[in-house]
Amino acid sequence: LVLLLGSASLTLPSLGYYALLGQGLLVPVWVLRLVQGFGLGAPFTAFALAGMTIRLTGRRWGDRYGLRRILIPAFLVYSAGLITLALSASLAGIVAGGLLCGTAHGIAFPAVTSLGYCLSPRGAAGSGMALLTGMMDAGSFLASLVLGQFAALLGLGVIFPFASVAGLAAAALLAANILRKPEVIITPPTAG
């Protein structure tokens, strides 16, 4: 273990870290926690609670309204959550943004994964799910690169508004797709 951790580059931050810290561009999480009191966990807790709640209360929405149809409000709520985060100047605002984004994720993630599973060819569901989750990871990677460039050029304040445009665009494209090719909802037979 000593041999693995013996390198100074593994144990000490680079000079760039201290330069950013000195310019006020990088604040350690523990400092933010001390300053804010409740801590950075509040918006993430709100996100998780909203996601769990919406999954329990809306678990049949995909069956009732269609998986593609429920994605439209999910994308719109996600965009609203990102705008709320961008405009927040208080812990309450950040928690509200977390609630909105968690609600959107609670609707969108199960719907997207269900669509990926249902649209996969028979016998290739595992490959389909691997492709789907890989595309999600690729999207996160590319979004971080693009938003990082926007932040470098225009400042950190533009990240959430720019990201919200993706949700609005996804909702618009999906609505146009549904108008072009309506979703057929097959109601499962009732027991009886």
DSSP assignment of 130-180 equals: HHHHHHHHHHHHHHHHHHHHHHHHH-GGGHHHHHHHHHHHHHHHHHHHHHH
Instruction: Report domain extents, the chain.
Output: 1-37, 38-180
Q: What is the pLDDT of residues 83-139, one digit of tens each?
A: 998 898 888 888 899 999 999 999 999 999 998 888 888 888 888 889 989 999 999
Q: What is the pLDDT of residues 152-167, one digit of tens each?
A: 898 888 888 989 999 9
- Residue 5 DSSP class: H
The helix/strand/coil state of 182 is: coil
- CATH numeric code, 38-180: 1.20.1250.20
